[in-house]
Amino acid sequence: MQNPPFTVSAAFVRGMLSGFGADSPQAGQWLRHAGIAPELFEQAAGRVTAEQYVALFSIVMTQTNDEGLGCFSRPLRQGSIGMAVRSALTAQTVASAVRRLCRALTLMQDDVQLDTIEDGQLVGVRIIVADARKPGPVFLHELLLRVLSRLTVWLHGGRMRPHGFDFPYARPAHAGEYARLFTGRVRFEQAHAAVWFPAAKLAAPMRRDDAALRTYLLQSPRNLVIPQRNDDATSERIRAYLQQVRPQWPDLAATAQALNMAMSTLQRHLASEGSSFQMVKDQLRRDLAIVRLNTSTVQLAVLAAELGFSDQAVFQRAFKSWTGSAPGTYRQRINQITASPAG
């Protein structure tokens, strides 16, 4: 069964370029090379496909030779993260491996210190900014916590889930997007940025080796910047089911029955995840629409029917409310990018 598509808020695209300045001469070129219209980059509600986001990450990292994407006072040269992980492979336990990883990454730059802390039955991988008066851009913490969480999960074996994330700044305007990128409890205005795991999980013996690392690095940066699916989450189960049965778009009652859940139970689980059935359905339709507009020439009326809308006008209004652009305008910008020669 095909996995549901995933799209990324333009807020994270702007963050990716924040270390260089959005008005940097290279920024527009990088965006175009990744197939992203600069106009979309500027829209508060704009979104890009996961493939465009990963492509932009790779382009910026390669052309600047900086895995830190300009967020540190000196570049984190390509291969640095792999070298740091390799230093952890001979550890006896996952917890010991994570401590080695933190030490290695701390030695590779001057701006943050990484360490582990304990809080009851949890272990946190913590980021301490060297100069507390300069906490660094929001994206620095977003990027480091994604990398640290994904690497820790990989060192454990790939099935562990973070317990939660702490951020040292006020809730940002794009915090509604965090649920897909940072699973578990999310807290803002904390003393330090940190990702938390069950201590018992990190006590597991290390089983990763250099061959496994080489395979993992071949899949980078996608496996570091695109979130791991949480198949246990009710919202993800619903997305997967709706993706499987489309172009049918069953209602709440039919979906609950297909998932062998009472409607009240399904709604309660979704509420605990900060979601609702309509929200999950619309997010999937939004992501499908963005991917289809990027990768096909399907007529808008046909796409509206595929997504379960009564007519094209209703689809157009919905798409504009989701992304800030009408679908025709969105496609036109994509066509302009693909038609123009790369700079």
Supply the mean pLDDT for the chain. 90
Q: Coil, strand, or helix at residue 29?
A: helix
> Does some domain include residue 229?
no
Whether residues 65 and 198 share a domain: the answer is: no
Using DSSP's 3-state secondary structure scheme, residue 13 falls into helix
- Secondary structure element (H or E) that encloses residue 122, with its range: strand 122-129
DSSP at 112: E
Residue 31 is predicted with a pLDDT of 92
Do 214 and 93 belong together in one domain?
A: yes
User: Alpha-carbon distance 290 to 293, whole Å?
Assistant: 5
* Average pLDDT of span 4-13: 90
For the chain, what percent of residues have pLDDT higher than 90? 71
Residues 1 and 240 sit within 8 Å (Cβ to Cβ): yes
Question: Token pair of 164, please?
Answer: 């939660």
With beta carbons less than 8 A apart as the criterion, state whether 106 and 114 touch: yes
Please state the rounded mean pLDDT for residues 309-329. Answer: 92
pLDDT at site 181: 86
**Has residue 1 been placed in a domain?**
no
Of all residues in the chain, the percent with pLDDT exceeding 70 is: 95
CA proximity to 104, closest of 119, 117, 91, 123: 91
Residue at a domain's end among 50, 71, 92: 71
Identify the weakest region by mean pLDDT among 10-14, 218-222, 227-231, 267-271.
Answer: 227-231
Per-residue burial over 270-291, b = 16 or more CB atoms within 10 Å of its CB, e = otherwise: beebebebeebbebbbbbbbbb
User: pLDDT band at residue 334, thresholds of 50, 70 and 90?
Assistant: confident
> Could you say which of 224, 244, 270 is where a domain stops?
224
The pLDDT of residue 223: 86
Question: What pLDDT, on the 0 to 100 scale, is given for residue 69?
Answer: 93
Encoded tokens for 341: 């020669």
User: What total number of domains does the chain contain?
Assistant: 3
Confidence category of residue 91, pLDDT binned at 50, 70, 90 = very high
Q: Is the pLDDT of residue 342 over 70?
A: no
Residue 189 lies in a domain: yes
In this predicted structure, what is the pLDDT of residue 343?
47
For residues 297 and 54, the answer to whether their CB atoms sit within 8 Å is no
Whole-angstrom distance, CA of residue 47 vs CA of residue 40: 7
Residue range(s) defining the domain that contains residue 199: 80-224
**Residue bearing the bigger pLDDT, 262 or 325:** 262
CATH of the domain at 282: 1.10.10.60
Nearest to 118 by CA among 183, 205, 198: 198
Average pLDDT on 272-289 reads 93
With a cut of 50, say whether residue 282 has pLDDT above it.
yes
How far is it, in rounded angstroms, from Cα 205 to Cα 75? 33
The verdict on 136 and 197 lying in the same domain is yes
Say whether both 308 and 239 belong to one domain: yes
Contacts of 178 (CB under 8 A, 6+ apart): 165, 186
Q: Is the pLDDT of residue 288 over 60?
A: yes
Is residue 280 located within the same domain as residue 199? no
Total-model pTM = 0.88
For residue 221, say if its preceding peptide bond is cis, omega within 30 degrees of 0. Answer: yes
Confidence class of residue 2 from pLDDT cuts 50, 70 and 90?
A: low
Range 295-316 average pLDDT: 94
Residues 290 and 316 in one domain: yes
Say if residue 238 is in the same domain as residue 306. Answer: yes
Tell me which of 92-106, 129-143, 282-296, 303-317 is least confident: 129-143
